[in-house]
Structure 1
Amino acid sequence: MKSLEEIGRVIDSRIKELAAKVTEGSAKEKIQADSQSLHIIETEEKRLYEKLGQIVYEQEKQNPFYEEHIKKISEKRQEAIALKKQLMKNKCSNCGLAVKPGAKFCIHCGARFIIEGDEKNEESE
Structure 2
Amino acid sequence: TPEEAVGQIHRALRGTRGAAIAVARLEPDGRTLFCGVGNITAALVTPTTRTMLLSHPGIVGHQMGQPRTYENHLDPHGVLLMHTDGLSERWTHADVAPLLHYPPALIAAGLLRQAGTRRDDAGVVVAKGAW
Q: Give the TM-score band, short-chain normalised.
A: under 0.3
Structure with the higher helix share, 1 or 2: 1
Structure with the higher strand share, 1 or 2: 2
Provide the TM-score with structure 2 as the length reference: 0.18
Q: Answer 1 or 2: higher relative contact order, Cα 8 Å, separation at least 6.
A: 2
Provide the TM-score with structure 1 as the length reference: 0.19
